[in-house]
A and B are shown apart, each in its own frame.
Chain A
Amino acid sequence: MRRLALLIAGGALWLILAAAPALADGGPHVMTVNNGSLGINADSCAGCHRAHTAQGPFLINAADETALCLTCHGAVAAGATTDVASGIQYQLAARGGTPLLGALRSGGFVQAAIDSGNPARVLVSNNLASSDDQWAKVRVRTDISGGVDPAPVTSAHLNLADNGLSAPTVAWGNGPIGLGLNGPGPTVSMACASCHNPHGNGQYRILVPIPDPEATSGTFTPAAADAVVADSPADNPDAAESDTKNYTVIQTRGTPGTLSTYLLYADDVSDAGYGPATGDYWHVRVPWNTASTPTTGADAPNGIPANRVGGFFAFNDQMTAWCSACHTRYASAAGDTPSGDELFAYRHETVGNRACTTCHVAHGSNARMEGTFSSSQPFPNGDVPAYDIGGATGDSRLLKVDNRGTCQLCHDPTGTVANGTYTGPIPAPGVP
C-alpha cells in the first residue's frame, strides 16, 4: 500500500512538472486553444473538467469554482505564477518559492501587500478644481529587510474561509437609476468566474464582457452590451521570452502603439531589473512623480493609456465601464450633479484618471480602517460591519489607503498645504 501511494504521488508530481510549459501565461485559459480555432484538439479541458467524475457544477474538478481556481492560483499551489490569495506574482521558474516577480495590482483575497499606511503625495495644487493633478504613490508593503510583506485583507470581493470575511454579498448599485425603486442592489452569489472567463476570451484579465452573477435576493440587471477591456497580445512578441503577463503593480510609461515599451510581460519586468518590492498601487500617473498627459502617462497595464486611431480605447475608460457593468449606479461623469437615484444620489466622478481601479483594488485590500468614522462606515444599505475583520478595523471597501487617505491623495480640502509640498515616507519613493 505504501508503494502504491508513493507511486501515485510521484505520478502526480510528474504530471504537474510535465504540465508546466502548458501552464505558462494563459495556462489552460488561452482562448484560441479552447475555442477550437487552432484545431479541435484542446488539451486544457482536461485540466479542470471531468466528464463523469466531476466534483462540482459545470463538471469541474473541485467542489466549486473558487476552490478549483485556487488549486493553481492559491497560496500553496504551484500551477500558476499568480497567487491571488496572497496577492503576489512569482517569476515563472520559481513558483512556490523565491524569487518573486512583484505584488499583484489587484491585491489578494487573503493577504495583500499594499503599503496602505505610508502613501506618498506631492500636492501639485491645493485648488479643489485641480485635484486630479496631484502626484501620489502607494508603495508595496515590505518587511524590515525589504521583502514583500503581505498582510491580512480587511475587504475582499469574495468572502472566503481563508480571509474570514462575511461582508454583505450585495452587488452595490446594480440596476438602473431610480427614485427608491432599486435600493442598494440585489444580493448575489459570486465566484471567480463571475468576473473571469477561465476559458480565455481575449479580454484583459480574461474578464467576462458582461458579468452576470446569480441573484440570491432581488434581481440582478446585467449590462445591455459587452464591456470590452482590450488586452495586450497573448503571445509575447519576443519569442525568446515567456508569454506570462506582468500582473504586478510595476509599470512604466511607454510609447502608445509600441508595445515593447511597456512592461506587459513578466520577463520584461525581470529584464528591466525591477525588484519585487517596486511598483505603485495608485497608478494615477505613470511614473507617479511627474506631470503626465492622458495620452502617455495614464494607467495602462494593457499598454493603451489613451484613445487612439485603430480602435484603441483608454484603459481607464474601459475598466470603469466594466466595473460599472455590475455597479451600474456608481458610474458618474460629474460629482456635483444629482443622478436622480434616491440612494446613489451624488457620486464621485469615475472618469479620466478617477477610474474605479484608481481608488480600489479588484481582489482584496489590507488597508486598515481604524478611525472612528472609517471603521463604522455603513454600507449603502445602512448596515455597519459587525463581523470580525481582524482587530479594530472596519471594512476597507477595497480601498488602497488606511482610513480615508484615498481621498487625501488627491484632495486638500483645507486649502492650507502649499503647492509642491511632499508628504510621505522619507526618502520619497522612487519609480516605478
Chain B
Amino acid sequence: MRRLALVLAGGALWLILAAVPALADGGPHVMTQNNGSLGINADGCAGCHRAHTAQGPFLINAADETALCKTCHGAAVTGSTVDVMTGVQYALDVDGLRDPATLLGALRGGGYDQARLDAGDASRLSYLRTATAVSQRPKVGVGAAEDVTSAHMAMTENGLTNPGIAWGNGAVGSGIGPVVEISCASCHNPHGNGQYRILNRIPEATGVGFDDGWVVDVLATVASNDRIYTEVSHALLVGDIVTVAGTGTAADGTNLTVASISSNYFTLTGVDILADTGVGGAVTRTSGVGVTDATLPAAGDTRNYTVMQTKGTEGTESTYLLYASQVATAAGAGTFNSIPGDYTATGGDYFARNVPWNPQINNAACDPTIFPAPAACATANSAPNGRPSTFSGQITAWCSSCHTRYFANSNPNPTTVDPLDTGAAWMYPRPGEDIYMYQHRTVAGRDCLTCHVSHGSNAAMTGTFSGSYEYPDGTASASSRLLKVDNRGTCQACHDPTGTIVAGTYIGPASPTVP
C-alpha cells in the first residue's frame, strides 16, 4: 500500500511539473503555440474558447472579453500571477498558478480597481544638467493599495464613469475624438503576437469615426535626398508600413516601408523622389513596427511586470531584470547584477524616467551638484523590454495610434514656410487644430508612460484646479487621468518653474532606494 501511495504521489507530482511549462509566461497567450508555427496542436484555444457553448462573441467562454480576462487576471483568482485589478504581480507557484501568499511587486500599469502608486509622496532630486541648468530626477515609489481615481476602462469594481472618448483620435481639426468602446483586446492580443505585453500592433477601438491609421500632412518632398517632410513631427519608426498620397511624386503609393526618420521628415525604401514639390499630400501609417519584446522566459518562469527595473547593457538581456525569477532572487539577495537595492514587493519606481532614478544612491561620486558628472553616473532610458534605445519611441508611437494628436515634438514656425524652421510643440501650434494646439512633447524621457500608467492610477486630484480639470471636451472632472502623482505633482517631478531649487536638493521620503 505504501508503494502504491508513493507511485500515486510521484505520478501526481509528475503531472504538476509536466503542466508547468504550458503555464509558463504567456499562459495561453504564447504566439508560437497559437499561430501553429510550433505545430498545429495548440492547447491554448481550449483555455478561453468554446466552439458551441460560448457565452460571448468571438466564441469566448465568458460574457465579454474583459470578464474572460479577469477569470485569470482578476483579484481573487489564481490563473495568472498578474492581477490587473489590484495592480500587483504574485510569485509563480509550483503548480504553475498564482501563489496568492507571495507578492512579487507592483505592476507598471497600475490597476483597474486599486493601484499602489505612492502618489502622495513622490521623490525628486535636483541636479546639474549643464553647468548652470538644474533638472530633476524623479521617482514615484510603491505605496499601499488605494482605489483608483482613473482607469482606461470603467468597471463595476472601480465605479468609474469614463467619457468613453478616444481623446485626440482622428485627423487635424476633427474635434475632441470619437466616442468608442474598448476592452482588454482593444490593446492586447490574447493569442500572443510577439509584441511587448502582447500589444496589438495597432490598437483597435469600436466607435463611429475611430481611425487607428495616423494621417500626417506632407509639407514637401526633396529630390536631392529623397526626404518627405511632414507638416508636424511624425511618430513614424523605421520599418513602419505607410501609404503616401497626393504628393504627385514617386513617393505616392501603398505598402511602402519607412527607411529612415528624423523628427520632421522620413525616407522610404526604394523610393527615389525625382522632383521637389510644394505643399501637398499626406502619409498614413497602415501598420506599425510595434513594441519589441524581450525573449520569452524559460519554462517555469514568467516575465517581470513590476515597476522594478535596472540599468543593463543593451543587447545582453541577462543584465536586465526581465523575469520574475530574477526579481525573486534579487529580493532575497538585496542585489541584482551587482546593483544593491530594494527588490522586494515594495521596491521599484513608477515614474521610470531614468534608470536608476538617482545614481548617487549606489555611487557617492555621482554628486548632483557636480557637472559634468562622471561617466559611471549616466542613467539609461526606461526599458522594461531591455531595449533602452528604442522602447520610448516605440511605446509612444503605440499610444499615439489611438491618441493620434497627442504625439508632439516639433511644429512649424507659423511665420515661415521653410520646412526646416520648426520649434517645440509647446512653442508653436499644431496647424489647423483648435483643441490640441500647443502640447507637451512626447519623446524620449517624456514618452506617454513617463507621466501616465496604462491601466489605472490611485493619484488623488483633490486640489481646486486639479479636482475640476476639464477634459478636452470642456467637461470638468477630478479624474487623475492615469497620472502618477497627486494633483499636478507629475509636472513638478521634472519642472521647477520658479527656478529657485538648487542642485542637490532632495524632496521626498527619507532613505530613498533603488530601483
Q: Which residues of A contact B (CB under 8 A)?
A: 117, 119-121, 123, 136, 172-173, 327, 329-330, 332, 335-336, 338, 343-348, 359, 370-375, 377, 380, 392, 401-405, 407-409, 412-417, 421, 423-424
Residues of chain A within 8 A of B36, CB atoms compared: 121, 123, 405, 408, 412, 417, 423
- Pair A359/B46 contact, Cβ less than 8 Å: no
- Pair A414/B52 contact, Cβ less than 8 Å: no
How close is A414's CB to chain B, nearest CB, in angstroms? 4
Residues 50-84 of chain B: 1 if any A CB is under 8 Å from the residue's CB, otherwise 0? Answer: 01111111111000000000000000000000000
- Pair A408/B52 contact, Cβ less than 8 Å: no
Residues of chain B within 8 A of A343, CB atoms compared: 53
Contact of B35 among A347, A416, A424 (CB under 8 A): A416
Known: A346-B57, A412-B35. 16 other contacts (CB 8 A): A117-B39, A336-B58, A343-B53, A345-B54, A346-B54, A346-B58, A346-B60, A347-B52, A347-B59, A373-B45, A380-B52, A401-B41, A404-B45, A405-B36, A407-B45, A413-B34
Q: How many A-B residue pairs have CB under 8 A?
A: 134
- Pair B31/A416 contact, Cβ less than 8 Å: yes
Residues of chain B within 8 A of A417, CB atoms compared: 35-37
Q: How far is the CA of A329 from the CA of B39 in the complex (A)?
A: 32
| A368 nearest CB neighbor, chain B only | B41
Known contacts A412-B35, A414-B192, A415-B189, A348 near B51 by CB under 8 Å: yes
- Pair A346/B43 contact, Cβ less than 8 Å: no
How close is B97's CB to chain A, nearest CB, in angstroms? 11
Number of interface residues, chain B, beta carbon within 8 A? 36
- Pair B191/A371 contact, Cβ less than 8 Å: no
Q: How far is the CA of A404 from the CA of B45 in the complex (A)?
A: 6
Residues of chain B within 8 A of A405, CB atoms compared: 36, 39-42
- Pair B35/A414 contact, Cβ less than 8 Å: yes
Of listed A120, A332, A359, residue having the most chain B CB within 10 A: A332
Q: How far is the CA of A370 from the CA of B42 in the complex (A)?
A: 10
Interface pick from B15-23, B168-176, B470-478: B15-23
- Pair B19/A372 contact, Cβ less than 8 Å: yes
Listed by A's residue number, 20 A-B pairs whose Cβ atoms lie within 8 Å are A329-B52, A343-B53, A344-B53, A345-B53, A345-B55, A346-B54, A346-B56, A346-B57, A347-B54, A348-B51, A371-B46, A372-B19, A374-B46, A407-B42, A408-B41, A409-B40, A413-B34, A414-B31, A414-B192, A423-B37
Q: How far is the CA of A417 from the CA of B28 in the complex (A)?
A: 18
Residues of chain B within 8 A of A415, CB atoms compared: 189, 193, 201
Known contacts A408-B34, A417-B36, A423-B36, A374 near B191 by CB under 8 Å: no
Known contacts A404-B45, A407-B49, A414-B34, A346 near B59 by CB under 8 Å: yes
- Pair A408/B43 contact, Cβ less than 8 Å: no
| B19 nearest CB neighbor, chain A only | A372
Q: How far is the CA of A119 from the CA of B42 in the complex (A)?
A: 12
- Pair B52/A330 contact, Cβ less than 8 Å: yes
Contact of A348 among B15, B22, B39, B52 (CB under 8 A): B52
- Pair B44/A373 contact, Cβ less than 8 Å: yes
- Pair B22/A424 contact, Cβ less than 8 Å: no
| A126 nearest CB neighbor, chain B only | B35
Q: Check B194 for interface membership: any CB of A closer than 8 A.
A: yes
Of listed B35, B41, B45, B58, residue having the most chain A CB within 10 A: B41
Contact of A408 among B23, B28, B40, B58 (CB under 8 A): B40
Q: How far is the CA of A375 from the CA of B201 in the complex (A)?
A: 32
Q: How far is the CA of A217 from the CA of B154 in the complex (A)?
A: 45
- Pair A392/B37 contact, Cβ less than 8 Å: no
Q: Check B246 for interface membership: any CB of A closer than 8 A.
A: no
Contact of B55 among A346, A423, A424 (CB under 8 A): A346
How close is A342's CB to chain B, nearest CB, in angstroms? 9
Q: How far is the CA of A412 from the CA of B33 in the complex (A)?
A: 10
Contact of A403 among B42, B51, B57, B59 (CB under 8 A): B42
Q: Check B47 for interface membership: any CB of A closer than 8 A.
A: yes
Q: How far is the CA of A172 from the CA of B40 in the complex (A)?
A: 27
| A397 nearest CB neighbor, chain B only | B51
- Pair A401/B40 contact, Cβ less than 8 Å: yes
Residues 471-500 of chain B: 1 if any A CB is under 8 Å from the residue's CB, otherwise 0? Answer: 000000000000000000000000000000
How close is A380's CB to chain B, nearest CB, in angstroms? 5
Residues of chain A within 8 A of B15, CB atoms compared: 392
Contact of A404 among B37, B42, B58, B60 (CB under 8 A): B42
- Pair B43/A371 contact, Cβ less than 8 Å: yes
Residues of chain A within 8 A of B55, CB atoms compared: 345-346
How close is A208's CB to chain B, nearest CB, in angstroms? 23
Residues of chain B within 8 A of A407, CB atoms compared: 42, 45, 49, 51
Q: How far is the CA of A375 from the CA of B22 in the complex (A)?
A: 12
Q: Which residues of B contact A (CB under 8 A)?
A: 15, 19, 22-23, 28, 31, 34-37, 39-47, 49, 51-60, 189, 191-194, 201
Residues of chain A within 8 A of B191, CB atoms compared: 413-414
- Pair A423/B39 contact, Cβ less than 8 Å: yes
Residues of chain B within 8 A of A423, CB atoms compared: 36-37, 39-40
Of listed B43, B52, B194, B201, residue having the most chain A CB within 10 A: B52
| B51 nearest CB neighbor, chain A only | A348
Residues of chain A within 8 A of B58, CB atoms compared: 335-336, 346
How close is B365's CB to chain A, nearest CB, in angstroms? 47
Q: How far is the CA of A335 from the CA of B39 in the complex (A)?
A: 26
- Pair A373/B46 contact, Cβ less than 8 Å: yes
Residues of chain A within 8 A of B40, CB atoms compared: 119-121, 136, 401, 405, 408-409, 423-424
Q: How far is the CA of A168 from the CA of B34 in the complex (A)?
A: 30
- Pair B43/A403 contact, Cβ less than 8 Å: yes
- Pair A335/B59 contact, Cβ less than 8 Å: yes
Of listed A348, A374, A414, A416, residue having the most chain B CB within 10 A: A414
Contact of A372 among B23, B52, B59, B193 (CB under 8 A): B23
Residues of chain A within 8 A of B47, CB atoms compared: 372-373
How close is B160's CB to chain A, nearest CB, in angstroms? 27
Q: How far is the CA of A401 from the CA of B201 in the complex (A)?
A: 30
Residues of chain A within 8 A of B194, CB atoms compared: 414, 416
Q: How far is the CA of A121 from the CA of B37 in the complex (A)?
A: 10
- Pair B59/A373 contact, Cβ less than 8 Å: no
Name the 10 nearest CB pairs between A and B, nearest first.
A371-B43, A404-B45, A413-B191, A346-B54, A373-B46, A373-B47, A402-B41, A405-B40, A403-B43, A405-B41
Q: How far is the CA of A329 from the CA of B53 in the complex (A)?
A: 9
- Pair B45/A408 contact, Cβ less than 8 Å: yes
Residues of chain A within 8 A of B37, CB atoms compared: 417, 421, 423
Residues of chain A within 8 A of B52, CB atoms compared: 172-173, 327, 329-330, 332, 344, 347-348, 380
How close is A80's CB to chain B, nearest CB, in angstroms? 33
Q: How far is the CA of A256 from the CA of B232 in the complex (A)?
A: 61
Residues of chain A within 8 A of B59, CB atoms compared: 335, 346-348
Residues of chain B within 8 A of A413, CB atoms compared: 34-35, 189, 191
Residues of chain A within 8 A of B192, CB atoms compared: 414
| A350 nearest CB neighbor, chain B only | B52
Q: How far is the CA of A409 from the CA of B58 in the complex (A)?
A: 17
Residues of chain B within 8 A of A371, CB atoms compared: 22, 41-44, 46
Q: How far is the CA of A407 from the CA of B50 in the complex (A)?
A: 11
- Pair A373/B35 contact, Cβ less than 8 Å: no
Q: How far is the CA of A120 from the CA of B192 in the complex (A)?
A: 22
Residues of chain B within 8 A of A375, CB atoms compared: 43
| A345 nearest CB neighbor, chain B only | B55
How close is A374's CB to chain B, nearest CB, in angstroms? 4
Residues of chain A within 8 A of B45, CB atoms compared: 373, 403-404, 407-408
Q: How far is the CA of A125 from the CA of B434 in the complex (A)?
A: 42
Known contacts A403-B41, A414-B31, A414-B34, A336 near B57 by CB under 8 Å: yes
Q: How far is the CA of A53 from the CA of B328 in the complex (A)?
A: 77
- Pair A380/B51 contact, Cβ less than 8 Å: no
How close is A85's CB to chain B, nearest CB, in angstroms? 26
How close is A125's CB to chain B, nearest CB, in angstroms? 13
| B200 nearest CB neighbor, chain A only | A415
Q: How far is the CA of A423 from the CA of B31 in the complex (A)?
A: 15
| B54 nearest CB neighbor, chain A only | A346
Q: How far is the CA of A98 from the CA of B47 in the complex (A)?
A: 43
Residues of chain B within 8 A of A409, CB atoms compared: 40
